[in-house]
Structure 1
Amino acid sequence: MTVEPQSEGAELTEAAWQRLDPRVLAVFPLRQAGALIPVVVVLLISGQGQGGWQLLAALAPVLVVLGIGVTRWATVRYRVGEERVELRGGLIHREQRSLRRDRVRTVDLRANPAHRIFGLTVVEIGTGSSSTKEGRLSLDAVPVAEGERLRARLLSRSPSAAPAGRTSAVSTAETSPAAGPSQPGLDPTLGQRAIEVARLHPSWLRYAPLTGSGLVAVGAVVGTAFRVASDAGLDLTSWVTLQIAGDELTAVPLWMEIAVIALVVLLMAGLGSLVIYLEGWWGYRLTREPDDTLRLRRGLLTTRSLSVEQGRMRGAEVAEPLLLRLVGGARCTAITTGLDAKTSNRGALLPPAPIAEAHRVAAAALLLTDPSSGTDAPLVRHPPAALRRRLTRALLPAVGIALLAWVLHDTVPWLDWAWPGALLLLPLAALLAADRYRNLGHALRPDYLVISQGSLIRRRVALQRRGIIGWQLRQSPPQRWAGLATLDAVTAAGAGRYSVVDVPLARAVALVDQVNPGLLPTG
């Protein structure tokens, strides 16, 4: 959608309803072409000896799509007033929706290949409401320049003043106009005052194969293979097919079969992860805009632009999944209110990158000059009782499984292998418990409460002290016997609750009193 032609930099006419851009008549059919082509081919091939009727049946889906596009162009309008953003449309079922401008929290830009061909983008206007439909308006599609003006206008508020003693942690110079945007299809102009926080580095691609997206790619390839085989009349799950495959594989040593299958899966997962990484994070650039928002741009085929208001930031999280952690990699996400988890990729500020870069970006996002004041703060370790609890919870299930395997290995012959395998669980469980304890800790900094925990995914959270709206102190019977407690810091952002686990009870009370003096009764 777009406004009527106007001079560059001119303001929108607030009183007038704006018509859809005529280029949407081409974008909509192009977006549906992938689904239309198989339908048209089937209709052309299946009909025999029907002459003109066959051609008419094949053209019908195309005409329907064109009709829908024309209807949208003729009926949908939007306008931006002083107090509200309004959208209306529909031919048979007419609908009018509006959002109050003072409730607008996010204005994100997204452009798939069809939009980019015609220089358009989708403007997603959100209020941060849990209801996706009621809390969002989607303007599909407006010219890129108009999308930028809408974003700047709807997010134009008095910038939140940073607390005393805190300055921007970004260290790069202001971006010059000659540098140009990293994604030409999405951001034709970048303000001279925009400051670059981070951009994609080619060496980060080495982290792509260590993300879980490769398993998704393997599943997609396997699913496609089964579908193609089914279309060819071959049932890969039938007993006859499996028997033939088994007869062929018996001529190959078992170790070679396992090695080949493992190698194929690893290659597919690695290549799939690399493709997904490139499509999602190509052209990645994080900047601090003149309106004091963090703006993230990324995407190869479908470009995306996410804006995060500084005033709504409540913290940052650095997560280290096990595989990334083994090679020194991590992710960084924002803890903020008003973000849609689906459209914002759960607030991700950085692709998988070196751990030092993740802590640096987290500090820059929180306007900290030193990462040690945030997610990289030195931690206060929890007492040995916390280690004993982790050893108990990890070893008891492992011992139970080992005993069960020992009982069954004589009575169930085909489970002979399970007994020695179950014994390996004991040292693995002990190592897991020790690692969970090693990663357990917390720190109280001048502006942030820092919490660390986890093993398979180690997480460091820097939670803004003034963003904590409540506390919850919990003790299970084993915790009471050990003199420990779990302290939950409640906030309106992110997961909503961040826990300091297995901390001494006196320390938990002291943390609450230090963050919110006078909250707890004395005496």
Structure 2
Amino acid sequence: MMKPKRYHPLLMLFDVWGFVKNVFFLVIILFVLNYQSQSFLFKYGRYAFYLYTVITFIYIISKWLTQKYKLGDTAFHLYKGVFTKKEQTIPYAKIQNVNRHISVFHRIFKMTSIHFETAMSGEDTTIKFNVISLQEADKMEKVIEQGTQHDRELDDHDFGQDKLERQNDIDVEEHKEVPDEVSTLKTNAQSGRQNRVIHFNPTKRDVLKASFTSLSFLVLVPILVSLYFQLDDFFDLDERAEGLISIILSAWWLIVVIIVALVITSIIFGIVRVYLKYGKYEISSDEERVYITQGVIDERSFSISKQNVQAVEITQSLIKRLLGIVEVKLISAGNLKIDDDDLKISSLYPFLPEKRAYEMIAEILPSYEITEQMSKLPKKALWVRLLRPIWFIVLVSVALFYFQPAIWGLEQAWWIGLVLLIVVIYSFVILGYKNTKYTINDHFIQIKKGGMVTSHIVTKRDKIIEVKVFRSFLQRKLGIASFEIVNRANPVRHTELDDIPVAMAGSVYTWYMDRTKEIEIE
């Protein structure tokens, strides 16, 4: 059997780097801005920092010495603990997604991080290798692929022709030089990439459209304001800026120049920001998996088995609707996080042309069928939706009539605000009614709803784990009902559709019960 092995030694340096980033501003405060201060807070704060640093370094070293892992035939085996030993076994079959991240740190040392996301609940649901060689990461993916497909003919000489030979080969490779293994893995990786079909690479026009659609150019001003207030806490910039502000306000042409320069800088900043994130975006797939890669400097990649896609979500904001673009997301049961940061990389691309998006779904997931022929809600559903906000509007009206608050010195502002509130509420109600559509066929259900932002969910019957049909008092009187479907995701995905004909709601339940004819145990 393969022996447990320690994580890569560079993991310690990676943890140290993370520690340095976390305490950087604390170091500036204690040892730069207040180094000469003998106050209790700063004097003993420095001593506490020394102690904290020593404890952190001891923990980083001890963690590396005690944590190990092993690749088995069908599962990961993880070992951890200094005084209390803990062993965790995670079957390969539970792995939903594979996430890779190449930060500046990884790029310097030609390493990567790889996280295997599972559908398991509780703690430690993600298998993390924050620093690992590219060859080892490729090897892991290969072992997992072979471990979850026992009936496939194995041609790789490193793993043999069956489970026993594969494990013995891995044992032998662990005790000898690795050039043959590395070259074989590179060959396997290259072969796998050659089998991939590239579906999308953004053009310069796509990047420009994305920078304006995402409103990235508006991010610079809040960043500058936040930076100003942070520096003001230490350097008292208000007093120093008074003279400069008076000079600027005294010359109108200077104000115009500054505004134009700020606008141009914001636009350039937004374009650069979007390019660094989406400039090298790639969507590809092979027969089994979907691959998404993004990032120019900080590279992230995501792969998911097509069988693990629980649903497809197509979202469209008002701006995107006007421009004819959509965002397509793949819903899966695994977490989409790296280093505690949410990954939105499960999106095929946030700014896809609508027609191309539907074509791409058909190319990548041919088992998913999306139709534009969808049923609308009955007219009596509109009356129900118009009546629902009545109680809220009545309560707000009574409160405003009683207090009659004056806003900006305008005594009549309270009823003007009430009218605007009613207009906004019912605009969203009517917009939501018009946007809500649905359809059900033999194996799929599609639900589209939303007001300013629409969400179009497409899922297969065998991917739904629960269906619930319910009716309120008002719905019973008008012969309509609501239903909710539940998909495996993290967190569990609930999708509700309100105010459809009661006969259709009943047929949804019957349709779901017929899933036993096609459901597969994953």
Q: Report TM bin, short chain.
A: 0.7 to 0.9
Secondary structure, counterpart of 2:310 in structure 1: strand
Letter in 1 for 2:136: E
Match of residue 325 from structure 1: 321
Contact 2:468–2:509, Cα closer than 8 Å, also in 1: no
Contact 1:24–1:141, Cα closer than 8 Å, also in 2: yes
Higher helix content, 1 or 2:
2
Show the 5 A alignment for 1:437-476.
Answer: 437-476=433-472
Match of residue 202 from structure 1: 204
Q: What is the aligned counterpart of 1:380 among 367, 375, 383?
A: 375
Taking a change above 3 Å as real, the CA distance of residues 411 and 65 of structure 1, as seen in their structure-2 partners, is closer
Matches of 2:85 and 2:220 in 1, distance apart?
A: 41
Point out the more displaced range, 189-198 or 204-213: 204-213
Taking a change above 3 Å as real, the CA distance of residues 449 and 325 of structure 1, as seen in their structure-2 partners, is same
Match of residue 479 from structure 2: 483
Letter in 1 for 2:106: H
Q: Do residues 434 (structure 1) and 422 (structure 2) align?
A: no
Q: Do residues 150 (structure 1) and 152 (structure 2) align?
A: no
Q: Do residues 510 (structure 1) and 490 (structure 2) align?
A: no
Show the 5 A alignment for 1:295-374.
Answer: 295-340=291-336, 344-345=343-344, 347-368=346-367, 373-374=369-370
Matches of 2:415 and 2:509 in 1, distance apart?
A: 49
Letter in 2 for 1:455: G
Cα deviations across residues 82-123 of structure 1 (Å, max 9, x unaligned)?
133123356567654332333333332222110111111112
Matches of 2:251 and 2:381 in 1, distance apart?
A: 51
Match of residue 104 from structure 2: 113
Cα deviations across residues 226-266 of structure 1 (Å, max 9, x unaligned)?
21111113689xxxx99x9999999999xxx9x99999999
Offset at 1:309? Answer: 1.3
Match of residue 16 from structure 1: 3
Cα deviations across residues 342-367 of structure 1 (Å, max 9, x unaligned)?
65438423223322233333333432
Offset at 1:209? Answer: 4.0
Match of residue 170 from structure 2: none
Matches of 1:367 and 1:439 in 2, distance apart?
A: 26
Offset at 1:283? Answer: 2.0
Matches of 1:334 and 1:116 in 2, distance apart?
A: 28
Secondary structure, counterpart of 2:100 in structure 1: strand
Offset at 1:312? Answer: 1.7
Match of residue 287 from structure 1: 284
Taking a change above 3 Å as real, the CA distance of residues 475 and 69 of structure 1, as seen in their structure-2 partners, is closer
Letter in 2 for 1:129: M
Letter in 2 for 1:383: P
Normalising by the residue count of structure 2, what TM-score does the alignment of the two structures yield? Answer: 0.72
Q: Do residues 500 (structure 1) and 487 (structure 2) align?
A: no
Matches of 1:260 and 1:458 in 2, distance apart?
A: 40
Taking a change above 3 Å as real, the CA distance of residues 90 and 45 of structure 1, as seen in their structure-2 partners, is farther
Show the 5 A alignment for 1:105-254.
Answer: 105-131=96-122, 133-156=123-146, 157-158=148-149, 191-205=193-207, 206-211=209-214, 219-233=222-236
Taking a change above 3 Å as real, the CA distance of residues 382 and 332 of structure 1, as seen in their structure-2 partners, is same
Matches of 1:251 and 1:398 in 2, distance apart?
A: 49
Taking a change above 3 Å as real, the CA distance of residues 483 and 86 of structure 1, as seen in their structure-2 partners, is same
Matches of 1:481 and 1:78 in 2, distance apart?
A: 61
Q: Do residues 101 (structure 1) and 92 (structure 2) align?
A: yes
Offset at 1:477? Answer: 1.4
Secondary structure, counterpart of 2:205 in structure 1: helix
Q: What is the aligned counterpart of 1:43 among 28, 31, 34?
A: 31
Secondary structure, counterpart of 2:129 in structure 1: strand
Secondary structure, counterpart of 2:431 in structure 1: helix
Offset at 1:317? Answer: 0.7
Offset at 1:284? Answer: 1.7
Contact 1:318–1:359, Cα closer than 8 Å, also in 2: no
Secondary structure, counterpart of 2:326 in structure 1: strand
Letter in 2 for 1:77: K
Taking a change above 3 Å as real, the CA distance of residues 68 and 276 of structure 1, as seen in their structure-2 partners, is farther
Cα deviations across residues 199-243 of structure 1 (Å, max 9, x unaligned)?
33333332344448777766554333221111113689xxxx99x
Offset at 1:483? Answer: 1.3
Contact 2:283–2:291, Cα closer than 8 Å, also in 1: yes
Contact 1:452–1:458, Cα closer than 8 Å, also in 2: yes
Match of residue 80 from structure 1: 71
Matches of 1:454 and 1:441 in 2, distance apart?
A: 10
Match of residue 8 from structure 1: none
Matches of 1:298 and 1:355 in 2, distance apart?
A: 21
Contact 1:470–1:490, Cα closer than 8 Å, also in 2: yes
Matches of 2:190 and 2:515 in 1, distance apart?
A: 52
Matches of 1:130 and 1:381 in 2, distance apart?
A: 38
Secondary structure, counterpart of 1:345 in structure 2: coil
Aligned residues: 461
Letter in 1 for 2:125: G
Letter in 2 for 1:97: Q
Normalising by the residue count of structure 1, what TM-score does the alignment of the two structures yield? Answer: 0.72
Matches of 2:55 and 2:485 in 1, distance apart?
A: 54
Contact 1:84–1:101, Cα closer than 8 Å, also in 2: yes
Offset at 1:315? Answer: 2.0
Contact 1:319–1:459, Cα closer than 8 Å, also in 2: yes
Contact 2:479–2:502, Cα closer than 8 Å, also in 1: yes
Matches of 2:388 and 2:144 in 1, distance apart?
A: 51
Point out the more displaced range, 59-68 or 101-110: 59-68
Offset at 1:472? Answer: 1.1
Taking a change above 3 Å as real, the CA distance of residues 281 and 474 of structure 1, as seen in their structure-2 partners, is same
Q: Which runs of 5+ in 2 are unaligned?
A: 37-45, 153-188, 517-522
Contact 2:96–2:332, Cα closer than 8 Å, also in 1: no
Q: Which runs of 5+ in 1 are unaligned?
A: 1-13, 49-55, 162-186
